[in-house]
Amino acid sequence: MAGKSIDHAITATDTLGAASDPTYAGVASFMRRKLTKEPADADVTVWGVPFDASVSNRPGARFGPAALRRASQIFDNDPQYPFKLDLFDALRVVDYGDCLIDYRTPETAHEAIRAEAAKLLGQTNFLLTLGGDHSITYPLLQALAERHGKLSLIHFDAHQDTWPTAGERVDHGSFLTTAVRHGIVDPDTSIQVGIRTHAPETLGLEIVYGHELEDMTSIEIAKRIYERTGGTKAYLTFDIDCLDVAFAPGTGTPVAGGPSSAKMLAVLHHLKNVELLGADVVEVSPPYDHADVTAIAGATVAMYLLGILAEKKAS
């Protein structure tokens, strides 16, 4: 065991470098990154938003951040497939922990998320969020738009999340309605991938439906995303129910007929030249998961997002 260590999340002295913790033990952080509340030198800050008070079906996504961190321990800190490099040789990544939300006053949650995200965006180049239900994407978009203006949205999901809503009410099926209405998301440069339900409005976003994905290669899907976003500043949100229920049973509103995790991961791998400003992985609901199938899929999506950032920085 010479040269090995454990609990890298708290013993690490630098934000670079791999860990050597056993995959089954040690303090859990996302991919064993250093846990810190001071991410000032980080290229990427990973954090959790354990909130699920705005779901319309099955709750449980408040346990998503913990499950995603636990699942990420299977990454053994070798060069990660398919990136052929140690992600942390050059990419400084920290785990900030979770956003504090008062469960007794859920109506205050979105403002708490926006405020803390805004603070973090002043300290780090990229915020990778582990959810949480899909409503949390709205305050994250708010915080980013305050710094960068209107954003393009790359939205992987089985649902459009464009249901009508009254006033400032935002839930996991209407966050995008509010974001478009307030000029945070530009529908003309935004795209949804994997949609397998109907909402009353599309709001002008381009949609790649689930059945279309069956006849497209991952390169063709990525090309549609590039053509739609057109080099604009973009945010990527990945609702795990974009995947078929065979690959993501542990989610609040599962929809059959979706793509495989392999196909969507291949799409993400082709997106390294998109100008991403931030991203999230949401709607992982561990109470409905089996053998961490969904958590592993979600953690791998998040790892791929780090991978494309690492490749971009290394190139």
- Tens of pLDDT, residue by residue over 113-167, are 999 999 999 999 999 999 999 999 999 999 999 999 999 999 999 999 888 887 7
Q: Report residue 9 CA to chain centroid gap.
A: 21
Summarize pLDDT for 57-76 with one digit per residue, the tens: 899 999 999 999 999 999 97
d(CA 315, CA 307): 12
The winner for highest mean pLDDT among 55-59, 169-173, 279-283 is 279-283
**What's at 41, amino acid-wise?**
D
Residue 241 counted as an annotated binding residue: yes
76 annotated as a binding-site residue: no
The pLDDT of 19-27, averaged and rounded, is 90
Q: Is 134 annotated as a binding residue?
A: yes
Query: How does residue 261 score in pLDDT terms, banded at 50, 70 and 90?
Result: very high
Mean pLDDT of 30-53: 95
Distance (Å, whole) CA 12 – CA 21? 11
Residue 1 has pLDDT above 60, yes or no: no
Q: How confident is the model at residue 47 (pLDDT cuts 50, 70, 90)?
A: very high
**What mean pLDDT do residues 242-249 have?**
98
On whether 269 is known to bind a ligand per the annotation, the reply is: no
Rounded CA separation 208/134 (Å): 19
As a whole number, the mean pLDDT across the chain is 94
The class that CATH gives domain 8-314 is alpha beta
| pLDDT at site 3 | 61
The reply to whether 98 sits in an annotated binding site is: no
d(C-alpha 43, C-alpha 49), whole Å: 20
Q: Is 41 annotated as a binding residue?
A: no
Rounded Cα gap, residues 239 and 5, in angstroms: 35
Q: Is residue 300 predicted with pLDDT exceeding 80?
A: yes
Q: What is the pLDDT of residue 238?
A: 98
